[in-house]
Amino acid sequence: MSLKILVLFIATYVMSLAQGGASFIGGVWSGNISPTSGTVAARLDTPGVKVRLRVSTDPGLTPALYSSTVTTGTGSSGAVKLSIQGLKPDTDYYYGFEVAGVLRSEPEARGRFRTFPLGRGSFKIAFGSCGDFRHANQSAYDAILNERPLLFINTGDLHYSDTNSTSADDYRVNYDQVLGHANQGALYRGVPVAYMWDDHDFCGNDTNTTAIGRDTARAVYRERVPHYPIGPTGGTIGQAFTIGRVRIIMTDLRSGSVSTSLKESASKTRLGTAQKAWFKQELINARDSGFPLVLWVSSDPWIAPAALGDDSWAGHATERIEIADFIRDNRIRNVVMLSGDMHGLAFDDGTNSDYATGGGAPLIVLHGAALSSDPSSKGGPYSGGVLPGSQQYGILEVYDNGGPSVAGRFLGMKAGEGAKLTHIFSSSADAAKDLALVNISTLARINSADDSLISGFVISGGKSRNVLVRAIGPTLEAFGVSGALTDARMAVFQSDRLIATNEGWGRGSDGVQSSDAVVQMTAAFDRAGAFRLLDESSRDSALVLAVEPGAYTVQVKSGNGVPGMTLLEVYDLP
C-alpha cells in the first residue's frame, strides 16, 4: 500500500469514527415518493447502529423534519430504510443521515428529492434500462441528473452481474457497487427512483421463476430498494403509484415467469397468476378513478411476432393476447407502455402494438435505452423506427392543465447530443370510457412555402362519423418544441375534392375571430380528449367535420411561408 493511500484510508477511518463510527456501503438512494412523504434506503458496515433521517427544504438541513430512529440490520446486512411524513407537495427537499446522533457530512450520506404534485400537475420523468457500473462510458447517468426529472424509472438491467445464488450477500454487493459508483451513485442520490428488474439484475440472462436465487433476490430487493408498496401476493414485486393525475403500474416479468420455451397455452404466464390478477385489477381501478393517463412499466419488449423461446412478450404470445383482450373488453384506452431491454430508442403510436383478438387495443410504446450497454435492436416493427445506441435514455414530459385530458411528449435522448426521437400524444379519462387513444398521424417539419405535410385517414363502415382534425403549430412552443410553425394552414380533401380549410382555430367558417367558435372548438377538444389550445388568436388550425365513409387527405402548409414544425392530429369524436 502506498503512503498516499494509507494516509487517505486513515483519514477516512478517523472521520468515520468522529461522525458516528459506521461507514456507508455504496450510498443512499430515495424512492416511494408521494406528495407528502418519501423513503430513503442505505447500508452501513455496522449492524445495530441507531440512525435517523433529517429532511429540510434548505440544503444546510436547518430547520428540519425528522424520521423515526431505527437500527441498522443485524448479521451482514447493515441495511436500513427511513421514511419521512408530513412534507409539502411539489416541493424540493434535501436529506442527510444522523448516525449515533451525529449528522454525517460525506456525499454518500446526503441526497435530495422533490415531492409529487397533489392532483393536477405537469412534470417530467426520465426512464432507461441496460446499464452496468463496469462500463467505461457512464455519461447517460450524468445527463439524466442534469435533466432534474421528478423521478427516474429504471426499467431493468440495473447491472449485468448475472447473480444466481442463495447467498444474500452476493446480491447485496451488486447494489453496493451500483450505489458506490461515482456517476450512478450521484444520480440515485440526486433523483428519486422507481426500479423494476429484468433478467441480468434478477438472476441472470433469460432467467425466470425456476432460478435458484429467486427467493433470495426478492428478499434483498425488499431490503435494499426504496420501493413502493408491493401489490401482488405470491412473491413478485409489482408496484403501482400515482404522480399528479397519472397512474403508474410496474410489473415484474421475471420472478413469476415460466420459461418462454414452453408450449403456448392459457396457463403459460410471464406475470404469474397472482400478479396478473393484481395487474388487471389495477387497470380497472385506474379506469374507474378517472386517471387521464396510465403508464405501464414493462421491462421487456411488447412488440414482436409470436415466437417460442423468444425472451420478450413474443415468447408469451397467448398471455399477451389475453392482456390485450382484457384492455379492449374493459374499454381501457389510455395505456402507454414504458418498455425496457432493447438497447435503443424507439416508439410505436399503436400501429404495430395491437394484439387483441380482432384488434381494438393499440398501445403507445416507448423505449429509452441503452444507458451504457452496446447498441442493439429487439422486437418491432416500431412506427417511429429504431435508433440502436448506448448512452441513451427516455424523457417523458406530461402537461396537465386540469381538463379531461393530459398531453405527453416523449424524447428519445442521447447524452451529449440531445433529442433523437420525438413523439407527442394526448390521453383522456373520457377516452378510457368511450374512445381509442388519440391517433397522432405525424410530427414533421415544413421546410418552405411550397412544402407541405400530407397524411390520410379512412372512415370505414356504412355510417358517417364526426372527426376532429388539427394542425398544431404555435402551441408546440409550449411543449418545448423549438422552431414551431407560426402559421399552420390546413386543408381537408375527400379524394381530390376540397371539403374544408382552416387557418386559425378561433375563427368561424367566415374566417373571422369568434368567441362562439372558440367555445365550440374547446368543447370538441375536451370530448376528444385532446389538449386544449389556450391562445384564441393563435394560427393553430382545427376543424370538426361530419364525414361519410371513404378516404380523406389532410394537407398542412405554412400560411406565411416561414418553415417550422407542425403536429397533425385526427381524433374520433363521440
Ranges of beta strands (E only) in 400-527 are 405-414, 418-428, 439-446, 452-459, 465-472, 488-494, 497-502
Mean pLDDT of 505-529: 84
The Cα–Cα gap between 167 and 68 comes to 30
Percent of the chain with pLDDT over 90: 75
Backbone angles phi, psi at 314, to 5 degrees: -65, -25
- For 377-393, how does the pLDDT look when each residue is reduced to its tens digit (9 = 90+)? 999 999 999 999 999 99
How much is the pLDDT for 570? 87
The Cα–Cα gap between 557 and 118 comes to 41
Residue 143 has pLDDT above 80, yes or no: yes
Q: Which cell goes with 235?
A: 412473491
Is the separation of the CB atoms in 372 and 144 below 8 Å? Answer: no
Name which residue leads in pLDDT, 438 or 428.
Answer: 428
Q: How confident is the model at residue 20 (pLDDT cuts 50, 70, 90)?
A: low
- For 165-183, how does the pLDDT look when each residue is reduced to its tens digit (9 = 90+)? 999 999 999 999 999 999 9
How much is the pLDDT for 403? 81
Mean pLDDT of 296-321: 97
Mean pLDDT, rounded, of the chain:
90
Q: How confident is the model at residue 18 (pLDDT cuts 50, 70, 90)?
A: very low
Mean pLDDT of 76-85: 92
- For 258-292, how does the pLDDT look when each residue is reduced to its tens digit (9 = 90+)? 999 999 999 999 999 999 999 999 999 999 889 99
Q: How confident is the model at residue 318 (pLDDT cuts 50, 70, 90)?
A: very high
Residue 158 has pLDDT above 60, yes or no: yes
Radius of gyration of the chain (CA): 25
pTM: 0.80
Half-sphere exposure of 204 (CA within 13 A, CB side): 10
